[in-house]
């Protein structure tokens, strides 16, 4: 049962920031598919709900060849999934969105709400960290930009201090860059039991000059496995190296056992997914 609350519906971003500053015991709703669940369970009972779903200032997808991609916080997953520019420049994001819950959820859920909820099983976090994304957050006092990998603090916790998510920025990819994402789940519309995102950038000789591997639902936040970067940078395509990277991923993750799988099972799957996603991303980078 959800307790009574006061409903705030700003028309502009300026109004939203002012209302949020005025009310301390206030939660932000931008779709509500996660927030209403925890309210119904009695885990939180805010005095105010600030609904920013229809703040038009925050609903956009913009791309510039030099600056990269900018997505407003209230942009829906479905809008991202159907974006032609994202499909062309960042196809891994389309692959990720296609795997995110159901069409009904994607039609209403927003990228800002997903990231602010900070569920380590969420799909966008791992992919966007692999793509070196930043996130802009702010309040009535000002704005700041944080690397997305530093945004998540713990289960359902972020660095935000009574701030709103305003925008996600993804840099323009370098030439000869490939990226891949896959999650393991029992039902197609479920959140991933575990997941792996990989991004690989090659030089003109086919040697790895940059790589990122990020594990989803493998700990309290998405985990960037820097030991794999150290292993692969400066190396040529080698499936034995991918296997070694998978072993490292299975060692450096911190999965928690539950009804969906034991810790050992999750470590094994993360190793397999890491090997596969690195190979897929590398082959895409080679063209």
Which helix (H) or strand (E) segment holds residue 13: the answer is helix 13-22
Give mean pLDDT, residues 252-257. Answer: 96
158 close to 152: Cβ distance less than 8 angstroms: yes
Residue 186: predicted pLDDT? 84
Q: What is the pTM of this model?
A: 0.97
Give mean pLDDT, residues 65-83. Answer: 98
Q: Quote the strand ranges of 111-255, DSSP E.
A: 134-139, 142-147, 152-154, 157-158, 164-170, 177-184, 194-202, 208-216, 223-224
Q: Which domains does the chain have, with CATH numbers?
A: 6-51 (3.30.43.10), 59-170 (3.30.465.10), 177-286 (3.30.390.50)
85 pLDDT exceeds 90? yes
Q: What is the pLDDT of residues 132-189, one digit of tens each?
A: 999 999 999 999 999 999 999 999 999 999 999 999 999 999 999 999 999 999 887 7
Residue 190: predicted pLDDT? 80
CA distances from 188 to 63, 182, 191 (A): 30, 12, 8
Q: What is the mean pLDDT of the chain?
A: 96
CA distances from 75 to 53, 79, 85, 114, 143 (A): 9, 7, 15, 11, 19
Question: From the CB of residue 238, how many other CB atoms can be counted at a distance below 10 Å?
Answer: 12
286 pLDDT exceeds 90? yes
> To 10 degrees, what angle do helices 91-98 and 123-130 make?
170
Residue 29: predicted pLDDT? 96
Give mean pLDDT, residues 15-40. Answer: 95
β 48-51/26-29 pair status: parallel
Closest CA to 5 of 16, 31, 35: 35
Q: What is the radius of gyration, based on Cα positions, of the chain?
A: 19
Q: What is the pLDDT of residues 198-242, one digit of tens each?
A: 999 999 999 999 999 999 999 999 999 999 999 999 999 999 999
89 pLDDT exceeds 80? yes
69 pLDDT exceeds 80? yes
79 pLDDT exceeds 80? yes
The model's confidence at residue 4, banded by pLDDT at 50, 70 and 90, is very high
Residue 225: predicted pLDDT? 98
Give mean pLDDT, residues 42-66. Answer: 96
């Amino acid at each position: 049962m959800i307790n009574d609350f006061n409903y705030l519906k700003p028309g502009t971003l300026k109004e939203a920031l002012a209302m949020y500053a005025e009310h301390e015991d206030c939660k932000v709703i931008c779709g509500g598919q996660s927030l209403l669940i925890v309210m119904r369970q009695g885990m939180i009972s805010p005095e105010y709900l600030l609904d920013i779903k229809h703040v038009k200032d925050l609903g956009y997808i913009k791309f510039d060849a030099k600056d990269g991609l900018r997505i407003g916080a209230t942009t829906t997953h479905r809008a991202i999934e159907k974006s032609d520019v994202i499909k062309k420049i960042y196809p891994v994001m389309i692959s990720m969105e296609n795997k995110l819950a159901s069409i009904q959820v994607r039609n209403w859920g927003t990228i800002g709400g997903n990231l602010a909820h900070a569920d380590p099983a969420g799909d966008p976090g791992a992919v966007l960290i692999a793509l070196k994304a930043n996130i802009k957050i702010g309040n009535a006092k000002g704005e700041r930009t944080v690397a997305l990998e530093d945004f998540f603090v713990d289960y359902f916790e972020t660095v935000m201090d009574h701030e709103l998510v305003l925008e996600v920025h993804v840099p323009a990819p370098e030439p000869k860059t490939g990226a891949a994402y896959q999650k393991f789940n029992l039902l197609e519309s479920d959140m991933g039991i575990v997941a792996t995102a990989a991004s690989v950038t090659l030089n003109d000789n086919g040697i790895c000059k940059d790589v990122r591997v990020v594990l989803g639902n493998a700990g309290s936040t998405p985990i960037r496995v820097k030991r794999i970067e150290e292993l692969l940078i400066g190396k040529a395509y080698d499936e034995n190296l991918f296997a070694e990277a998978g072993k490292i991923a299975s060692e450096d993750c911190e999965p928690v056992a539950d009804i969906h799988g034991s810790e050992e099972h999750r470590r094994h799957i993360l190793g397999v997914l890491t090997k596969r996603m690195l190979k897929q991303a590398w082959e895409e980078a080679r063209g």
